[in-house]
Copies of this chain bind each other. A is one copy, B any other.
Amino acid sequence: MKTKVWLRAGFMLGVALLSWLGLSADAWAQTDPLPSWNDGPTKKAIVEFVQATTDKTSSKFVPPEARIAAFDQDGTTWVSHPMYTQVVYCLERVAVLAKTKPELKSKEPFKTVLSGNQEAIAKLPMKDLEQILALTLSGMSVEEFKVEVKQWFETAKHPRWKRPYTELIYQPMLEVMQYLRANGYKTYFVTGGGQDFVRVYSEQVYGVPPEQVVGSMAGTKYGYAKDGTPMLTKEPKLLLNDDKAGKPEGIHLMIGRRPYAAFGNSNGDRQMLEYTGAGDGARLMMLVLHDDAQREYAYGPAQGLPDTKVGTFTQALYDEAQKKGWVVIRMKSDWKRIFAFEP
Q: Is the CB of B229 within 8 A of A249?
A: no
Taking a contact as CB atoms under 8 Å apart, the answer to whether A253 and B239 are in contact is yes
The answer, yes or no, to whether A18 is at the interface (CB within 8 Å) is no
A301 in the interface (beta carbon within 8 A): no
Which chain B residue shows the least CB distance to A5?
B5
Give the docked Cα–Cα distance between A9 and B278 (Å): 59
Contact present for A203 and B65 (CB under 8 Å): yes
Q: Per a CB cutoff under 8 Å, which of B196, B256, B271 touches A199? A: B256
Inter-chain CA distance A244–B275, complex, in Å, is 34
A22 at the interface (CB under 8 A from B): no
Q: Cβ of A221 < 8 Å from any Cβ of B?
A: yes
Binds B, one of A122-130, A132-140, A207-215, A285-293: A207-215
Interface: A219 (CB within 8 A): yes
Across the interface, do A65 and B209 meet the contact criterion of CB distance under 8 Å?
A: yes
A223 to B203: give the CA distance in the assembly, Å: 32
Determine how close the nearest CB of chain B comes to the CB of A147; give it in whole angstroms.
15
Residue contacts A-B, CB under 8 angstroms, 16 given: A6-B13, A13-B13, A65-B203, A195-B253, A196-B256, A199-B256, A210-B255, A217-B253, A222-B245, A222-B246, A222-B248, A222-B275, A230-B248, A230-B274, A239-B240, A239-B253
Contact A222 B249, beta carbon cutoff 8 Å: yes
The distance from the CB of A305 to the nearest CB of chain B, in whole angstroms, is 28
The closest CB in chain B to the CB of A7 belongs to B9
**Bound-complex Cα distance A13 to B65 (A):** 37
Name the B residues within 8 Å of A211 (CB-CB).
186, 211, 254-257
Q: Contacts of A248 on B, CB cut-off 8 Å?
A: 222, 230, 232
> Does the CB pair A256–B9 fall under 8 Å?
no
Least CB distance from A14 to B in Å reads 9
Q: Does A168 contact B (CB under 8 A)?
A: no
Number of copies: 2
A220 within 8 A of B: yes
**A13-B13, A222-B245, A230-B274 known; 4 other A-B pairs, CB under 8 Å?**
A5-B9, A6-B13, A222-B249, A232-B252
Q: Interface digits, A126-157 against B, CB 8 Å rule (1 contact, 0 not)?
A: 00000000000000001000000000000000
Decide if A281 is an interface residue (CB 8 Å cutoff): no
Residues on B with C-beta less than 8 A from A275 are 222, 230, 232
Q: Which of B65, B195, B199, B271 contacts A222 (CB 8 A)?
A: B271
A10, A211, A239, A274 — most chain B CB neighbours (10 Å): A211
B10→A256 contact, CB < 8 A: no
1/0 contact trace for A236-279 toward B, CB 8 Å?
A: 00011000011011001111110000000000000100110010
